Chain A
Amino acid sequence: MRIVLAFGFGLIFGCGILISGMGNPAKVLNFFDLAGTWDPSLAFVMGGALTVTAIGYHLIFRMKQPLQASSFRLPTRQELDAKLLGGSAVFGVGWGLSGFCPGGLIPVLGIGMMEPLLTAISIAAGILVARTVIRLNYGDRPAKA
């Protein structure tokens, strides 16, 4: 049941991405192009997503536990360190070059174009290299946001 529901939630997430325009790199890059062909649409994606998620989370966290799991798994770290800010800065550069963030990319893989596939392989390579570097230097595994 957990697996079927996860598939369904991924489906809803992906439809949201495609309807919103987050999966279209031309639109994403225009959102960042303040000095050129600016398209503010993606601010409305964030607006819609944040409104629903903020209210929804607020209601959910009144429950003792999730419906199909023993506890809510939430990040607990507080520190604003070089890893967080440096990593985020590098992600922004990558996003600005390709126009694909991970959430925007995955649904587009289903359309069967070459460019998203090439980008996905490159992201996977970056994740694996970074994981290795972190394991060697910090001796731990990166936590998820």
Chain B
Amino acid sequence: MTDFTPLLSFTGGTLIGLAAVALMAVHGRVAGISGIFAGALTTKFDQEWAWRAAFLAGMVASPLVLLAVTGQLPEISVPSSPALLVVGGFLTGVGVTFGSGCTSGHGVCGISRLSVRSIMATITFMATAVMTVFVVRHVLGG
């Protein structure tokens, strides 16, 4: 069980939105994390690489800032085995590359622009995630 946290989750969501709006207003870029991550992995070390690396570094630094402000780290609990993390991670990498985006790029930024591609992509990955968890937890009984 995890606690139902509508207020914290909504507040966190507005911060995600705020960052996405700021990145578009200043850099003119979609805040799609898989695209930013992939760009930081593969492009030349130019200006385009630099803003992506800086954005990712800010994300990685965020738990330390939260720790400094609130005095505690957020609770992180990983139910999946290392094998599931490796397979799940690999499929995530393949999927976001073919699908041109993930939860942030399609689910937040794309839907906010009413992009039909992003709406269809989000419905698709949400549906297969629900099916996957159903199979793992209730069919295989993991």
Contacts and interface: CB of A to CB of B under 8 A. Distances in A.
A110 B62 CA distance: 7
Contacts, number: 524
B19 A24 contact: no
Nearest to A27: B2
A125 B26 contact: no
A108 B63 contact: yes
Interface string B27-51: 1111111111111011000010011
Contacts of B87: 94, 97, 122
A104 B62 CA distance: 12
Q: Identify whether the interface residues of B are mostly helix, strand, loop, or mixed.
A: helix
Contacts of B131: 92-93, 96
Contacts of B109: 53, 57, 145
A42 to B, nearest CB: 6
B134 A35 contact: yes
Nearest to B134: A35
A121 B89 CA distance: 8
A75 interface: yes
Interface residues of A, number: 118
Interface string B57-74: 111111111100000011
Contact of A4 (B4, B54, B84, B115): B54
A136 interface: no
Contact of A130 (B1, B93, B110, B111): B93
Interface in A50-79: 50-54, 56-57, 60, 63, 65-75, 77-79
A66 B85 contact: no
A52 B84 CA distance: 34
Contact of A145 (B47, B54, B105): B105
Contacts of B36: 144
Contacts of A79: 117
B119 to A, nearest CB: 10
Nearest to B138: A35
Contact of B92 (A36, A94, A115): A94
Interface string B69-102: 0000111111110101111111111111111111
Contacts of A145: 30, 32, 34-35, 99-102, 105-106, 109-110, 118, 121
Contacts of B80: 25, 29, 97-99, 115
Given A95-B125, A124-B93, A144-B30, 14 more contacts: A3-B51, A7-B57, A10-B62, A52-B18, A53-B109, A56-B21, A57-B109, A92-B131, A93-B128, A96-B133, A102-B102, A123-B89, A123-B96, A142-B97
Q: Which 6 pairs from chain A and chain B are nearest by CB?
A: A126-B93, A145-B101, A20-B12, A48-B13, A10-B58, A14-B62
